[in-house]
Amino acid sequence: MSIAAKFEIEYLQYLDAEGKQVRDDLPEFAKDLGHMVELYKLMLSTRVFDAKSVALQRTGKLGTYASCLGHEAAHVGIGSAMKPEDVLAPSYREYGAQLYRGVQPREVYMYWGGDERGNDYQKEPARHDFAWSVPIATQCLHAAGSALAFKIRGEKRVAVCTIGDGGSSKGDFYGAINIAGAQNLPLVAVIVNNQWAISVPRKIQSGAPTLAQKGIAAGLHCIQVDGNDIIAVRKAMEDALERARNGQGGSVIEAVTYRLGDHTTADDARRYRGEQEVKDAWAKEPMKRLRAWLVAKGVWDDKKEEAWKAECDEWMDNEVNAYLETKTQPVTAMFDYTFAEVPADLAKQRDLVLSYENKGH
């Protein structure tokens, strides 16, 4: 028998669920404990931010919100590995990556609070990133197109898209990794496999034993990592980004994690998954293991934890206040950005709506 092709998928993990280091070859960034503390702090602030968002929704101050509870290691690992000049094309819950790149909590609140200005990220490098993409997997092709633009212009930049396990079923994902392989594009596609696409479990999405191996068919580098271990996520990202930046090909990274919360605040996960499963997932969640590891290294303790939580609370309170104080846009805003300039025909409709406004209806 002759073999036409063979493949294997590496699984990467540095910290187990208890925070025990399972391999000695720590990457350079992880040897810098000050930096690891910074990453932990951002994961914690992401969690505080997320809890605040859910609370805002439950008290009627936010529309539907997609929580990121449990994804902190995956998201911060992605965002912290990227360079400012790279581009992120997220789906709709990658706040940990986005906060790192300058998206402000008030912008997240504005978007889910019914105001398009939430997508108008004010701070670089987030300002040149894509906004949240609700239509599943469509953002993967925006990243591929960005990567193509970088290649054509000879820029050493990488486009990163994030996608869920469910999203990896869609043609847009396959199309993006396919053209990335065919054109050797600087694309890194991260499948944040959180086991659930609303109520549909991972096993219904695909018969493949890993989602990472989907990239094999596209000719990309592929790896599966423990998505609750930020060292593993960050290391896989750094390797993938470096290869892509140097013209050595794109990657698919599968970060295996778990969606600890509901799909969105409009969802009730108790309808379709058991308590025990969620309990088991909590035992493997990303904060606990990194905290245990940092505490064992002597660079983190309860006092620091409480102090940082208090700082996060204050930060989020400021952000919430800024959000709540933001006045609704004028009614004409729905017309003003449809085209670069409002066409004459549309201006008539704008004037009509404005006349309703002036009459109070």
Partner 1 sequence: MAQITLIEAVTQALAYEMKHDESVVVLGEDVGVNGGVFRATQGLQEKFGELRVLDTPLDETTIAGVTVGMAVQGMKPVAEAQFEGFIYPMMEQIACHAARMRNRTRGRLTVPAVWRAPWGGGIRAPEHHSEANEHLFTNIPGLRVVLPSSPARAYGLLLAAIRDPDPVIFLEPKRIYRQYKEEVPDDGEALPLDVCFVLRDGTDVTLVTWGAQVKECLEAADELARQGVSAEVIDVATLTPLDFDTIAESVQKTGRCVIVHEAPKTAGFGAEIAARVAEECLYELLAPVERVTGPDTHIPLFRLEMKYLPSVERIVEAAQRTLAAS
With respect to partner 1, which residue has the nearer C-beta, 22 or 134?
134
**Is the Cβ–Cβ distance between 221 and 183 less than 8 Å?**
no
Site string for partner 1, 298-337 (x = CB under 8 A): -----------------------------------xx--x
Q: Which of residues 140-159 bind partner 1 (CB under 8 A)?
A: 140-152, 159
CA nearest neighbour of 89 among 174, 181, 190, 229: 190
Q: What separation in angstroms does the CA of 208 have from each of 77, 212, 310?
A: 25, 9, 44
Q: Is 351 in the site for partner 1 (CB under 8 A)?
A: no
Q: 171: number of CA atoms within 13 Å, CB side?
A: 0
- Site size for partner 1 (CB under 8 A): 45
Q: Is 108 in the site for partner 1 (CB under 8 A)?
A: no
Q: Would you list the DSSP string of 284-339? A: T-HHHHHHHHHHHTTS--HHHHHHHHHHHHHHHHHHHHHHHTPPPPPTTHHHHTTS
Active-site annotation holds for 337: no
Q: Is 32 in the site for partner 1 (CB under 8 A)?
A: no
Token look-up 């290391």 returns: 235
**Is the Cβ–Cβ distance between 215 and 168 less than 8 Å?**
no
SS3 130: coil
A 10 A CB-CB count for 298 gives 8
CA nearest neighbour of 211 among 164, 278, 258: 164
Q: Which of residues 35-94 bind partner 1 (CB under 8 A)?
A: 87, 89
| Active-site pick, 58, 270, 272, 337 | 272
Active-site annotation holds for 263: yes
From the CB of 129, what's the least distance to partner 1, in Å?
A: 9
Q: How far apart are the first and last CA of the chain?
A: 77
Q: Is 95 in the site for partner 1 (CB under 8 A)?
A: no
With respect to partner 1, which residue has the nearer C-beta, 117 or 304?
117
User: What is the amino acid identity at position 38?
Assistant: E
With respect to partner 1, which residue has the nearer C-beta, 150 or 258?
150
Do strands 200-201 and 196-197 pair parallel, antiparallel, or not at all (unpaired)?
antiparallel
Stretch that binds partner 1, among 179-187, 200-208, 246-254, 319-327 (CB under 8 A): 179-187
Stretch that binds partner 1, among 67-75, 178-186, 256-264, 292-300 (CB under 8 A): 178-186
Active-site annotation holds for 23: no
| Active-site pick, 259, 289, 291, 323 | 259
Q: Is 355 in the site for partner 1 (CB under 8 A)?
A: no
With respect to partner 1, which residue has the nearer C-beta, 135 or 306?
135
- Give the catalytic positions in this structure: 259, 263, 272
Residues that bind partner 1 (CB under 8 A): 87, 89, 116-117, 119-121, 127, 130-131, 133, 135, 138, 140-152, 159, 171-172, 175-176, 178-179, 182-183, 333-334, 337-340, 343-346
